[in-house]
Structure 1
Amino acid sequence: MFSVSSYSTSESHSLIEDVNSCLICLEEFTHRDTIIRLSCHHIFHGACINKWFTVKTFCPLCVRVYHTVITINNET
């Protein structure tokens, strides 16, 4: 359902294509940020979309509903 990756400024990143900022907080991705692309292809910081999904169950941009929401814990 979700693609999880670590952002790298030193290489082309197929996960994010031309997007260079989180579409929730609008801050630019920095080296080694955890980024998540939903199946609707919208991209967010992992922490931003996790927080969003604690309150809502849809994409903040296209409003696609996600019935099963999985949060990503990057501290493992």
Structure 2
Amino acid sequence: MSETLHIDWTRCDGRGLCTELLPTLLDRDDWGYPLAKRATNGDRSNVAVRPAHSEAAREAVYLCPKMALSLANQVAGFGQ
């Protein structure tokens, strides 16, 4: 099972806290909005989270002032 961090850009106002908490996973665009460093199929709003970064990702979700982040668990092979 792996986790995916989702960025809801309609809620985000580019404060940058998540990019400070997850510098290995997230970059900022020119306006301060977070982007996945490694895009999945060109999608920079979803970030695969490795187990080593799970705790920091949960903290970022909890601390996001606009509730623009969410974590989803993915079961490998399900639906494929």
Could you tell me the TM-score, scaled by structure 2's length? 0.29
Higher strand share: 2
- Pick 1 or 2: higher relative contact order, CA cutoff 8 A, min separation 6: 2
Could you tell me the TM-score, scaled by structure 1's length? 0.30
